[in-house]
Amino acid sequence: MREDPEEFVRRLPLTPGAPARVRRAIIAEEGILREESARAHALAEGILLAPVAYFLAEFLKELAKHAYQQFGRQVGSELARDAYSRVKSRVLGRGPRPEELPTLAEAMAISELYFSGGVERPTEGASRVAPVDLLATSVVRLRPLAPGSLEAEISKLALLASVSPLKPGELDSLVKIMRDVARERLGLEPPDFPIHFTLREYAAARGSFNGPPTPFAEPGLGAFLLYDPEEASLRSEARGSLVPRFARLVAHLAHEYLGHGSVYSHTRAGQSLAEAVRAARNLSGVERVAAEEKLSAARDPLLVVDEGFALWVELAVLKELRPALGEAIVDEETLRYLGPDEDPFGRTRGEYFEAVYGRPVNPYKEGYGALFDIEKTWGRRCVPEALKIACDVPDMHPLERSLGELRALYVRRPELAPDRRLMAIRSAVTSAPVRARRNDVDAFRKFIREEAGLWAGAG
């Protein structure tokens, strides 16, 4: 007795164990993924389907073929047409947005578009689709993406990264997308800040590479990310760190490059610190040790602003790119940075934090909380302006002062400390009524000058 077709489609696995012919069809050749015509296809009315969804449809087309072989073309076609009629409004935007991946039967309906929908497809390698494990674990939902949009472009890269490590040119494309997101969505001018991806680049920029391979940003030197497939092939135990998953790579770029990079290249305090770090690299011996102590003292009053802004940028970017990255990465980063009560890296146990805060603090939580309050009231485009105002302090030239003098000045003179200036901005925003439209940067600048007494050239 033949199995019920719908039951067959429902339980046919998306994991190893599918029919051998179907499994052969899902052994991808990455070349076709790297052709523009194969990355995303117009379905109807200029709507673009997320690339992962397209390849899911391709895979399910193979399952549909198998169903036809099992039950006859007429029965298989009827199943596909029925499913298509049920999901047409969801996929093509004529009803509520889909909240989850379609069932197999519904996804088969989308593949029916390629049987009779008149969509041009490449004839060469048409049966090549994404690997089965990607399709089985994907959290990318079927949703329309505007052709050429930032979400569509990053979805293409996400798909490529899921098949094999990104190539240098594709990393460059990712950086460009991140810069566009910063400028168009956040009102943040992209930083003039070098990016180093491989361990070899780390060593060349810093003189040597030592310590665990973790992303970080260093004033005067750039953002040190981690994306080194060549080294990962030689160090299998470190592959997870050297070739992070795509969403994690985007998070690192947003945090280290856009966030910290903006502080060190667009603000007065950050530029001053970067200049001092570059000067200290030319020292050695006892002079170098003394310089590092002074740099640490100069970093303390900037730390809350620096880390708070980097986290604000990261979460804002991740939320903008949710169609390609999913929700999980936002929750992961929020918990990782905002969960602990103290700095996870132990940087706030010094004299400055004891004198100003009375205890060790979590700089991510303190800084992000202040910036988020500003965003809630004035809009996100005023947050980069708040950063500039908070960091618009007189040049301290830390290497030209004694360690004791630096520590005393930062504690006794709040107008020299970016973190205390940021808290003054937050206090003004939360205690006084807004007198302008949200995201009006000029009005925000005037408001802070009047309410908090802070403006350009504070020294």
- 129 in the same domain as 14: yes
Least confident of 99-103, 209-213, 261-265, 270-274: 99-103
Is the pLDDT confidence value at 262 over 80?
Answer: yes
Strand order in the sheet with 195-196: 195-196, 222-224, 216-218
Both 93 and 176 in a single domain?
A: no
- 267 in a structural domain: yes
Q: Rounded to whole angstroms, how far apart are CA atoms 371 and 386?
A: 8
Neighbours of 100 (CB within 10 A): 8
206 lies in a domain?
yes
- Of 283, 133, 282, 278, nearest to 220 by C-alpha is 278
Give the residue numbers spanning the domain of 23: 5-158
146 lies in the same domain as 201? no
Whether 127 and 220 map to the same domain: the answer is no
2 has a pLDDT exceeding 80: no
| End residue of a domain, out of 118, 135, 158 | 158
Could you say which of 158, 193, 213 is where a domain stops? 158
What percent of the chain lies above the pLDDT cut of 90? 48
Which pair of tokens denotes residue 135? 């399709």
Check pLDDT > 50 for residue 241: yes
pTM listed for this prediction: 0.74
Residue 384, domain member (yes or no)? yes
Is it the case that residue 78 has pLDDT exceeding 50?
yes
CA angle 232, 238, 239 (to 5 degrees): 50
Contact 50, 140 (CB under 8 A): yes
Q: Residue 402 domain-assigned?
A: yes
User: How many domains, the chain?
Assistant: 2
Instruction: Please report whether residue 163 resides in a domain.
Output: no
Q: Are residues 292 and 437 in the same domain?
A: yes
Q: Which of these, 44, 36, 120, 25, lies nearest to 84 by C-alpha position?
A: 44
Considering the domain architecture, whether residues 127 and 240 belong to the same structural domain is answered as no
94, 181: one domain? no
Whether residues 111 and 233 share a domain: the answer is no
Which one has a higher pLDDT value, 139 or 234? 234
pLDDT at residue 109 in the model: 42
pLDDT, tens digit (0-9, with 9 covering 90-100), for 184-238 = 999 999 999 999 999 888 888 877 766 567 899 999 999 999 899 998 888 878 8
Using one digit for the tens of pLDDT, what is the confidence trace for 320-331?
A: 988 678 778 888
Specify the pLDDT at position 397. Answer: 85
Pick the last residue of a domain from 158, 183, 205: 158
Residue 53 has pLDDT above 60, yes or no: no
Residue 458 in any domain: the answer is: no
Backbone angles phi, psi at 223, to 5 degrees: -90, 130
Q: State whether 117 and 192 are in the same domain.
A: no
Mean pLDDT estimate for the chain: 74
Same domain assignment for residues 102 and 244: no
Report pLDDT digits (tens) over 152-164. 788 778 767 766 7
Predicted local distance difference test score (pLDDT) of residue 455: 64
**62 and 178 housed in the same domain:** no
Least reliable range by pLDDT among 20-29, 80-89, 345-354, 423-432: 20-29
Q: Which tens digits make up the pLDDT trace of 285-297?
A: 999 999 999 999 9
pLDDT score of 136: 34
Rg of the chain (C-alpha set): 26
459 lies in a domain?
no
The answer to whether the CB of 244 falls within 8 A of the CB of 298 is no
Q: How many residues does the chain have?
A: 459
Average the pLDDT over 127-152 and give the result: 46
pLDDT tens for residues 380-391? 999 999 999 999
Residue carrying structure tokens 């135990």 = 237
Q: Is the pLDDT of residue 66 over 60?
A: no
DSSP output for 327-385 = SHHHHHHHHHHHS-SS-TT--S-SHHHHHHTSS---HHHHHHHHHHHHHHHH-GGGHHH
Same domain, 142 and 178: no
Structure tokens at 340: 């602990």
Say if 212 falls within a structural domain: yes
The percent of residues in the chain predicted with pLDDT above 70, rounded, is 65
